[in-house]
């Protein structure tokens, strides 16, 4: 026995699948572009980047950095805790070091824009009380003074990865131009193939209905 499904119902199902795939891509977006304007500073300095858990019970998470601009000599990199990678290939911070400190300290060139992209991923655990914080700070060339903010902590930007799996950006009393913006996720090749196959099938069905006068 051949079971026939209503064409309209199948088309709606395919459309729902395509839209669902798009929604999945959108909800997974957790990449941010951070940019600091150091045009008011002369010479060179240092950037201090940290990704640390708010509590020992914080869910496992990581922050991956790519797309660096304004960073100095790669050999200047100093890492502490669970941080690995390179300026060329990107750095990855994982928030599970036993010492509770995961840090990249790197030379930067002042006088222009310093920027990078940071992508967060990890376990979502709404039952946990604390997430993890990614912080950005600048130091002078002698590494003796924090720059660009009047906040007592010296932090310019905080990106808080919450237990619910979302990111909350916070700017802290900046005295320099600082911007943080979400970067739209790009669908994986498999997602594009699935969307393309669904749309092609819908188009083929429409042509069949036209040909048969449906």
Taking the C-alpha atoms of residue 54 and residue 31, their distance in angstroms, rounded to an integer, is: 20
pLDDT at 104 over 60: yes
Domain that holds residue 131: 30-183
pTM of the model: 0.74
pLDDT at residue 117 tops 50: yes
The confidence band for 33, taking pLDDT boundaries of 50, 70 and 90, is very high
Same domain, 175 and 200: no
Predicted confidence band at 210 (pLDDT cuts at 50, 70, 90)?
very low
Is residue 167 located within the same domain as residue 203? no
Q: Decide if 8 is inside a domain.
A: no
Query: What secondary structure letter does DSSP report for 37?
Result: E
Angle at 145 between CA 161 and CA 38, to 5 degrees: 70
9, part of any domain:
no
Total tally of structural domains belonging to the chain: 2
DSSP 8-state symbol, 76: G
Question: Is the domain of 112 the same as that of 193?
Answer: no
pLDDT at 213: 54
Contacts of 56 (CB under 8 A, 6+ apart): 100
Query: Do 162 and 150 fall into the same domain?
Result: yes
Q: Give a yes or no: residue 89 inside a domain.
A: yes
**Cβ neighbours for 64, distance < 8 A, ≥ 6 positions apart:** 90, 91, 92, 93, 118, 119, 121
Q: Is residue 140 included in any domain, yes or no?
A: yes
């Amino acid at each position: 026995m051949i079971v026939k499904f209503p064409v309209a119902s199948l088309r709606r199902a395919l459309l729902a699948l395509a839209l669902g795939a798009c929604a999945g891509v959108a909800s997974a977006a957790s990449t941010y572009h951070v940019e600091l304007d150091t045009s008011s500073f002369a010479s060179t300095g240092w950037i201090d980047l940290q990704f640390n858990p708010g509590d020992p019970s914080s869910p496992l998470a990581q922050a991956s950095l790519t797309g660096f601009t304004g960073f100095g000599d790669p050999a200047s990199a100093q890492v502490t805790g669970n941080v690995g990678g390179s300026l060329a290939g990107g750095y990855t911070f994982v928030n599970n070091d036993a010492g509770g400190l995961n840090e990249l300290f790197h030379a930067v060139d002042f006088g222009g824009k310093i920027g990078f992209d940071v992508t967060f991923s990890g376990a979502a655990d709404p039952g946990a009380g604390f997430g993890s914080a990614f912080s950005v700070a600048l130091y002078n060339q002698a590494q003796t003074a924090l720059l660009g903010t009047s906040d007592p902590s010296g932090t310019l930007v905080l990106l808080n990865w919450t237990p619910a799996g979302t990111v909350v950006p916070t700017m802290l009393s900046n005295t320099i131009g600082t911007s943080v913006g979400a970067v739209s996720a790009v669908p994986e090749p498999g997602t594009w193939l699935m969307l393309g196959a669904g749309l092609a099938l819908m188009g083929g069905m429409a042509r069949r209905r036209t040909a048969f006068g449906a």
